[in-house]
Amino acid sequence: MAKGKQSGQGTPATVTLTKAGVTFTTHLYEHDPAAKSYGLEAAEALGLQPGQVFKTLLVEVDGKLSVGVVPVDKQLDLKAVAAALNGKKATMADPAAAERITGYVVGGISPIGQKRLLPTVVDETATIHETVYVSGGRRGLDLGLSPTDLISLTSARTAPIAR
């Protein structure tokens, strides 16, 4: 794997990875606005196993915004993410708030390079893969990187948060 090049595809996520000296790959695909699931669309378009492609979801845990990162073929377990963050209750964040806080559009929210570093939990299944794929910061762009780098750059903890 070579260090990712921005090649006109620079997003806050790619800039963050490049500045950190992290090895990553960029994967472009044609986004279909009619797609029911952005994450499953990415996995299919890129020929990847859905369990290796992760979606970034914003949640409110006890009123504070946080991030859950789970495989695209799974759902976020709200009770599990609340517990992982030592909270009592989690709800999905308002999409407009998610866009405002992260600086990304829904369907293109990357766990990397958000405007503010939010408490983040990555599903523990990420660690079984050599490479995981997350949104690159816009629809139609995914980034491949090691789960160790993903966890490190987002200051995440891992826990079983997918169901």
In whole angstroms, what is the distance from residue 42 CA to residue 144 CA? 12
In whole angstroms, what is the distance from residue 141 CA to residue 127 CA? 22
CB crowding 130-152: b at 16 or more within 10 Å, else e: ebbbbbbbbbbbbbbbbbebbbe
Question: Confidence class of residue 35 from pLDDT cuts 50, 70 and 90?
Answer: confident
pLDDT for res 72: 95
In whole angstroms, what is the distance from residue 102 CA to residue 150 CA? 16
pLDDT for res 34: 81
Closest CA to 123 of 64, 49, 65, 72: 72
Question: Using one digit for the tens of pLDDT, what is the confidence trace for 93-128?
Answer: 999 999 999 999 988 999 999 999 999 999 999 999
pLDDT: is 18 or 4 the higher one?
18
Asked if 40 contacts 50 with a C-beta cutoff of 8 angstroms, the reply is yes
Asked if 28 contacts 9 with a C-beta cutoff of 8 angstroms, the reply is yes
